[in-house]
Chains A and B, each alone.
Chain A
Amino acid sequence: MVKLLLFGYGNPGRGDDTLGPELIGRIAQLHLAGVECQNDMQLQVEHVTDLAACDRVLFIDADMSCAEPCDFSEIFAEKDGSYTSHAMSPTALLYAYRQVYGKDAPPAFLLRIRGYDFALGDPLTEQAAVNLDTATKLVHELCMDASLQRWRRCLVNKGDSVE
């Protein structure tokens, strides 16, 4: 069985930034076999150790500029300046993985869910909640059929694959 890691990140105290952790919470409640759910406020370098134990990883984050309702993409290791910050990009984390372990990270994908309001203390917006429903359905489908072929077929439709 493919061991999947779902990693949502964002600040639940900042409106739609909670989309990633919120989705993780929903999937975790399903107790799907072979699916590990993790979340954190932001990605940091020690999270490479989480990647080491899985066959594939899906990062899930709120995004204020992607297409609605969500954007699903495959990502690859890329060096950028975020490794010096409190909030690494997922591609930089994959790059750090290569540096730490001397090999490529497991295949990695990124699901960006469109958010609109990230103000302190604000609730999830109505439109973001609609996008979250769509994204949750997509992630559930991906967990049910975790073949790389299936995941990459979803890329063609960029998150519109939910039927």
Chain B
Amino acid sequence: MKGVKLRKYGQQIIAAITGKRIHGTATVPGGMNKPLTVVERDALLADIKNILGWSQDAVALNEQIHTSHPEHYRFATIRSNFLSMVGGGGELELYHGGLRARSATGAMIFDQFDYRGFQDILREEVRPWSYMKFPYLIELGKEQGWYRVGPLARVNNCDFISTPLAEAARKHFREFGQGGFVQDTLAYHWARMIEILHCAESIQALLHDPDITGTDLVADLGEKRSVGVGVIEAPRGTLFHHYQIDGQGLIVKANLIVSTTSNNQAMNESVRSVANEYLEGHEITEGLLNHLEVAVRAYDPCLSCATHALGKMPLQVELLDADGTLLDRLTKGSNGAIERTV
């Protein structure tokens, strides 16, 4: 029930800020078209202490689940570079800061990089077998330059978290890494809960800030520009938006690197790790299928941008030999039913 209510609270915040639970209409270029009312603020304040407590419980639960199961440490685990945004002091930052990339050993690749120039550090590779692109850090090249984004990257990459409870949880997390990065893929869930705790603390502080119900809602738009780059840390990871407009303000070019795309190679590497560990012979077992799903879901990929019509098959695993001949195929339906289709 605590988890359900945490998610519900998130919905309430979205509705209060954007006007509706989905497809909010309050955002406009340069700001918002509606303030947070006192009534809305007080409604959110009424629950925030519970939210904070439940967030702490969620961190403790996920830490306990991960640390008490040594088999989780190596499951789908890979050693990767990490990319995330950090604030000017190296703190965890979700909205505005500089880009930081570090190698698997912790060596700094770049830091406080102005994201408006992201095309100087990132490139997207196209491969013939996938609709998804494969981004990489130019400095390291296609083979070595792939990286991970999201909670695991952010909590590893930052120097500290600005809220006290989440900072204590971060230190605990990093101690688990024994001086190095925590590379365990399943630790994504643990890191995600630390960020939820940070957000709960931040929300509490913001709700007590008198300016939160202010009516100065739109920034000075400044000089009109034809090209814009925006980067934030979305829940799943670093999110790049790059737009070009014409004289009428119509978008003529747009490129997005969403966090699931950034994690593309990493998810493939985790799939490879699971296959190496659990695939035997020429048959895809139900156990292997489930393990592959657990590995991919650790990244919380937004493959759900695909259609959710009933009857769609959300998961299909194929086993090919070295010549590309199909040896086995297992599909898992939206109702969880598993079917062999070879």
Contacts and interface: CB of A to CB of B under 8 A. Distances in A.
A136 B144 CA distance: 54
A60 B167 CA distance: 44
Range, interface on chain B: 20 to 34
Contact of A41 (B5, B308, B314): B308
Range, interface on chain A: 35 or more
Contacts of A42: 304, 308
A148 B334 CA distance: 29
A45 interface: yes
Contacts of A86: 302, 304
A89 B333 CA distance: 11
Given A40-B22, A46-B11, A87-B334, A118 B307 contact: yes
Interface centre among B10, B21, B334 (most CB of A within 10 A): B334
A62 interface: yes
Interface in A90-117: 91, 96, 100, 112, 115
A22 interface: no
Contacts of A133: none
Contact of A62 (B1, B23, B309, B335): B309
B334 A89 contact: yes
Interface string A112-131: 10010010000000000000
A64 B304 contact: no
Contacts of B311: 63-66
Contacts of B5: 46, 49
B340 interface: no
Interface string A45-73: 11011000000000001111110000000
Contacts of B312: 64
B304 A46 contact: no
Nearest to B305: A11
Given A39-B22, A87-B334, A17 B7 contact: no
Interface centre among B5, B297, B312 (most CB of A within 10 A): B312
B65 to A, nearest CB: 14
Given A17-B308, A87-B304, A81 B332 contact: yes
Given A44-B7, A45-B4, A48-B4, A10 B304 contact: no
A9 B4 contact: no
A17 B308 CA distance: 7
B324 interface: no
B4 A80 contact: no
B8 interface: yes
B310 interface: yes
B336 interface: yes
Q: Ordered nearest first, which 9 A-B pairs have the shortest CB separation?
A: A81-B336, A46-B7, A86-B304, A118-B307, A80-B336, A65-B311, A87-B308, A46-B8, A63-B310
Interface of B: 1, 3-5, 7-8, 10-11, 21-23, 297, 302, 304-312, 314, 332, 334-336
Given A11-B308, A42-B308, A45-B7, 16 more contacts: A17-B307, A39-B22, A40-B21, A40-B22, A46-B8, A46-B11, A49-B8, A61-B309, A63-B311, A64-B310, A64-B311, A84-B297, A87-B314, A87-B334, A91-B335, A118-B309
20 contacts: A9-B308, A11-B305, A12-B23, A16-B309, A42-B304, A44-B7, A45-B7, A46-B4, A46-B5, A46-B8, A48-B4, A49-B5, A62-B310, A82-B335, A82-B336, A85-B297, A85-B304, A87-B314, A100-B4, A112-B310
Interface of A: 9-12, 14, 16-17, 38-42, 44-46, 48-49, 61-66, 80-82, 84-87, 89, 91, 96, 100, 112, 115, 118
